[in-house]
Amino acid sequence: MTYCDRCGDEGVHEACAQARALEPPRYCRHCRRRLKVQVVPSGWSATCVEHGAIDG
Amino acid sequence: MASILDHARITVLEQGVGLTQAGILEVLQLPDDEIEAALQLAHEVRMRWCGPEVEVEGIVSLKTGGCPEDCHFCSQSGLFSSPVRSVWLDIPSLVEAAKQTAATGASEFCIVAAVRGPDAKLMKQMRDGVAAIKAAVDINVAASLGMLTQEQVDDLVSMGVHRYNHNLETCQSYFPNVVSTHTWEERWTTLKMVRESGMEVCCGGIIGLGETLEQRAEFAAQLAQLQPHEVPLNFLNPRPGTPLGDRPVMDPKDALRAIAAFRLALPKTILRYAGGREITLGDLGTRDGLLGGINAVIVGNYLTTLGRPATADLELLQELKMPVKALSATL
């Protein structure tokens, strides 16, 4: 099972994928937990408490 | 009968006096085929009263999410089902973000926190963070920490914070539709204290919250009354989980009308492109705005969403022969 990293629902969503061009991920694809996300001017970092750092 | 643009050419361009609320409304109501002329006039006003320089700024969130306030547009409120989690930025990462911002040629670095107002922990983090930045990076430090007490205003001045951002967000008459946990007047009180402290006042808001054109004009007129040093102009980027999450992105033509109208209301103010420009106007909109009255940009990412790469904006400025305002020119 994989989850959408924007809305947290199951599967992959075209609209979410488009929106992600201007947004960092918010949910872990593996477990659907909300990510700890830090946005800085030149990038972002995201961490799942269970699965660790998420790659951009 | 002279059109509003003919009138603005005399009062705003030649005399440097902003349009009245009624005049601003007329600009916001211009037909599509007059938008280009409005932007052209706004550009002339900006060049005449502000010059060709563009002020470049980077912003970063020191404390993200978990805010007790209910600003209906904001994904950082802890009262909504937004996916944004609470997180703090450590000092080394803050300094690194300031370095990266300075490397773009930016003269401004604004530290933002999602709070009603700062508590002792946040003020300590600010004191440590501003000192660390000033020791390592040549850049002006601004702050945006919500509503302040007089003591906190004085503390920020002593830290060397040179500009304080506190957006009114929308006009006084529409504000209760957007925020219920504090009032427009409370925000105004903080702005007055900031003004009296000697810090520069940065105050703008978000267009497209559901306000009428009349209320949009009211907002521009109220900002003109405040006379802030800088007005950041955001366009609503509807965030999932917020009460305004299902609102449509505003019509790009209305966004361009707003840019022209705000410049004609505020001929001598730094008018900054802020959040929502990418989703509202696309890449071409950045060019239209810079040729339509905008004279400052936030480069790179925003607080919780992403922006165009800084290089894209800097290349555009070079193409438009608009020099980045040097740090020395801001002091």
Domains by residue range for chain B, with CATH = 19-324 (3.20.20.70)
Cβ–Cβ of A41/B100 closer than 8 Å?
yes
Closest CA to B270 of B142, B139, B124: B142
This prediction has a pTM of: 0.96
Query: What is the ipTM metric for this complex?
Result: 0.94
Read out DSSP for chain A? --B-TTT--BS--HHHHHHGGGS---B-TTT-PBPEEEEETTEEEEEETTTEEEP-
- pLDDT one-digit tens code per residue, B257-286: 999 999 999 999 999 999 999 999 987 789
- CA A17 to chain B, closest CA, distance in angstroms equals 14
B110 marked as part of a ligand binding site = yes
Of the pLDDT bands very low, low, confident and very high (cuts 50, 70, 90), residue A56 is low
Residue of chain B minimizing CA distance to A32: B83
The pLDDT value given to residue B329: 73
Please tell me whether B202 is known to bind a ligand: yes
Q: What is the mean pLDDT of residues A24-31?
A: 96
| Interfacial residues of B (vs A; Cβ cutoff 8 Å) | 58-61, 64, 83-85, 87, 89, 93, 96-97, 100-101, 104, 240, 278-279, 299-307, 310
Helix (H, G, I), strand (E, B) or coil at B273: strand
Say what the pLDDT of residue B331 is: 56
Regions in chain B scoring below 50 on pLDDT: none
pLDDT band for position A43 (cuts 50, 70, 90): very high
B195, B209, B189, B241: which is closest to B80 by C-alpha? B241
pLDDT one-digit tens code per residue, B14-31: 999 999 999 999 999 999
Q: In chain A, what residues touch B137 (CB-CB under 8 Å)?
A: none
Three-class DSSP category at B159? helix
What percent of chain B lies above the pLDDT cut of 70? 99
